[in-house]
A = this chain, B = another copy of it.
Amino acid sequence: MTKHIIDAAQVEQHNAKLKAELQADYDALGGMLSRRGVDIEALTAKAQTFGVAVPSWGAGTGGTRFARFPGKGEPRDVTEKLEDCAVIHQLTRATPAVSLHFPWDKPADPKALRQQADELGLGFDAVNSNTFQDQAGQPATYKFGSLTSTNKASRELAVQHNIDCIELGKTLGSKGLTVWVGDGANFPGQSNLRGALERYIDSARGIYAALPDDWQMYIEHKLFEPAFYCSVIADWGTSFAVAQTLGPKAKCLVDLGHHAPNTNIEMIVARLAQFGKLGGFHFNDSKYGDDDLDSGSIDPFQLFLIFNELADSQARDGAGFNPSYMLDQSHNVTDPIESLMSSAVEVQRAFVQASMVDRVALAGFQESNDVLQAAQTLKKAFRTDVSPILAMARLRSGGAIDPVAAYRAAGYREQVAVKRPPKAGASGSGIV
């Protein structure tokens, strides 16, 4: 029996108030869809199948190099982070797994952590290694690189840390390791560009060798930051070439904020899918760089177009096509729980809208180069306000009709603000 962080009666009470209105909206939408030949019930059932993992670090307030403005009741350890993640899943029913980040989330007792997760109805998605920071007392620095450092000791330390992450992940029930490194250079000449990638591949082979057969290694590329002249794994081309070099368990992870301006991300999705190397996603949104804003908050149509490609590949490749979904956001000015809940819903929205696209009609318009109608076919699905479907899916799965309202009504943040007093010195002294 899943343990509920928020009293189930409170959620029920919330739903009771909104149910009639939801039903009316749902019926109205159902009528509109049925006039278009679409069965609302099939969509709702589809929506209920959706899940996206929540990043444990997302439960805390984020910041920039300039400052961090702490929020109230931030979780102080992985146990408290799990509690917050449980709230998110309880209310949205769309975030059944948590993605941990080591050493930040390193549990004193991994088995106990797994048990806590079980009780809360949560699983563990891919684990994430961290070789972009030095930990206190670390024997070799990552200042000039980790997996690609010219210093052998730094490389070995980074490889071993990744292997340790795999070990921890095995205990927790994870099936994937996400590897993102900040390695690169700030100045032309600082690094030998080929040499750095050779060292990366060499180090990555060491990690790959430790990977269980049923695991995947997700290689995450990023154009820039923290390296400002070049990053070793800067683009999907490099990520792809490396994944090919390593072997079938190595796949590419697409973070929506890690691309050059104007990049067509949905095409990268299509390319990686076509060549069998699409591993998964870090969902977020951005206007400038790796802004890590709430998913769908800046360009919701782009999110839809990405899911349109996923739906197309699903139709082509069937059950074997199974990329992993994770949110990866930095919540600087919102309540992290609220942002994660509404972001999960936004990603789910794009998933449902993409599943509404009339693919037969679309293929016909594409074949005959009826460009306008092909474009309108996508727009028609995107324009449809599927909010009642998402709410009904939540209701039927035991969640809240309006997760943010239910969360606020439950007073969770105020409660943890009392239980979790701010750490001394945690106030925002950013790096400049």
- Seen from chain A, the residues whose Cβ lies within 8 Å of a Cβ on chain B are 21, 24-25, 28-29, 31-32, 35, 57, 62-69, 132-134, 136, 141-144, 150-151, 182, 185-195, 197-198, 223-226, 228-230, 234-238, 240-241, 259-264, 266-268, 270-271, 273-275, 286-289, 291-294, 297-302, 305, 308-309, 312-313, 316, 330, 332-335, 338-339, 342, 362-363, 365-369, 371-379, 382-385, 387, 404, 425, 427-432
Contacts and interface: CB of A to CB of B under 8 A. Distances in A.
A369 to B, nearest CB: 4
A403 to B, nearest CB: 11
B226 A66 contact: yes
A253 to B, nearest CB: 15
B371 A266 contact: no
A28 B260 CA distance: 43
A417 to B, nearest CB: 15
Contacts of A297: 187-188, 229, 375, 379
A336 B385 CA distance: 29
Contacts of A385: 383-385
A186 B374 CA distance: 11
B57 A333 contact: no
Nearest to A382: B300
Contacts of A197: 270-271, 274
12 contacts: A25-B32, A67-B134, A67-B142, A144-B369, A186-B293, A190-B333, A190-B374, A194-B270, A224-B289, A237-B237, A241-B275, A430-B431
A366 B190 contact: yes
Given A134-B69, A229-B298, A264-B234, A189 B32 contact: no
Contacts of A308: 188
Given A144-B333, A333-B369, A342-B376, 15 more contacts: A21-B35, A24-B35, A69-B143, A132-B430, A188-B297, A190-B369, A194-B270, A223-B262, A224-B287, A224-B289, A228-B287, A230-B264, A299-B302, A300-B382, A335-B372
B190 A371 contact: yes
B432 A64 contact: no
Contact of A229 (B185, B191, B287, B366): B287
Contacts of A338: 372
Given A230-B264, A230-B267, A375 B193 contact: no
Contact of A273 (B62, B194, B274, B427): B194
**Across the A-B interface, the 6 shortest Cβ-Cβ residue pairs:** A237-B237, A260-B260, A63-B431, A193-B270, A69-B143, A228-B291
B66 A182 contact: yes
B431 A64 contact: yes
A370 B365 CA distance: 44
A199 to B, nearest CB: 11
A284 B319 CA distance: 40
A62 B66 CA distance: 11
Contacts of A365: 189
B141 A69 contact: yes
Contacts of A313: 194
A387 B383 contact: yes
